[in-house]
Amino acid sequence: MEASFDWEWFIKKFELISKIDLTAYKRPQMERRINSFMRTANVADYRQFIEALQNDRVVYRKFLEHITINVSEFFRNASHWDTLAKEIIPMLQRGRNGLKVWSAGCSTGEEAYSLAMLARDNHFPLCERILATDIDNEVLERAGAGLYASKALQSMSAHYLNRYFGREDEYYRISDEVKKMVRFEHHDLLRDPFGRGFDLILCRNVVIYFTEETKQRLYRRFAEALRSGGILFIGSTEQIFQSRELGLQSVATFFYQKV
């Protein structure tokens, strides 16, 4: 590959196209994913790949899905949701009339809707609609539509399925009563400002491909976005090292409280 079309050249060009900063991601894993996609797309080098991304919307869309890994499902890791419902939310509710909640990196909406169903079923009050954000506008559109294949519902109980979904051919559409509890917005975790005063922030299986420096910066920003005593709920493969330095303490596995 010509020196002028190396990795550094590629990530700068790609950021101009997509506004996604690949320097925040672990380079070895990202390079493997990109090179794998390039072979599939039958492009020989980064220069040809940038041209393909600029000129072919289908290739660009498939590549975004390939690197952002928009894989989700309702009530993923069900035991963690049990902990949320039975321990964390009751703790957050003490002395409060309603909870302010953010699902960060929400992908196609399964996580935010899971929380909405949980709140509705257990009468957990919300002070406003659940904020659900993602960098990818097309997945946000799919989230807003609320139409899902059966695979996304495999961890969900029959109770939730029967109460909050309607069948449409081989798909399932979430009910309007749940849909209206969630507000979907575009947001870049690496660039955009964070809100403040959240009682609960869910950011699960989002940061695993980021560099350690980027992870720590994000966790610090999440801590700043929480109100005192608020909770950050992370993914099953994640752990916050030296959480005290970020103003957080572990209160249950995968749950960190703002000190």
Using alpha carbons, list the distances in angstroms from residue 124 to 85, 117, 143, 244. 9, 10, 22, 29
**Distance between CA atoms of residues 108 and 145, nearest Å:** 9
Domains of the chain in start order, with CATH, are 3-68 (no CATH), 78-258 (3.40.50.150)
Dump pLDDT digits (tens) for 74-131: 999 999 999 999 999 999 999 899 999 999 999 999 999 999 999 999 999 999 999 9
Q: Mean pLDDT across the stretch 3-32? A: 87
Dump pLDDT digits (tens) for 198-238: 999 999 988 888 999 999 999 999 999 999 999 999 998 89
Residue ranges with strand state E in 27-174: 101-104, 130-134, 147-149, 165-168, 171-174
Q: Mean pLDDT across the stretch 58-78? A: 83
Specify the pLDDT at position 12: 93
Specify the pLDDT at position 1: 40
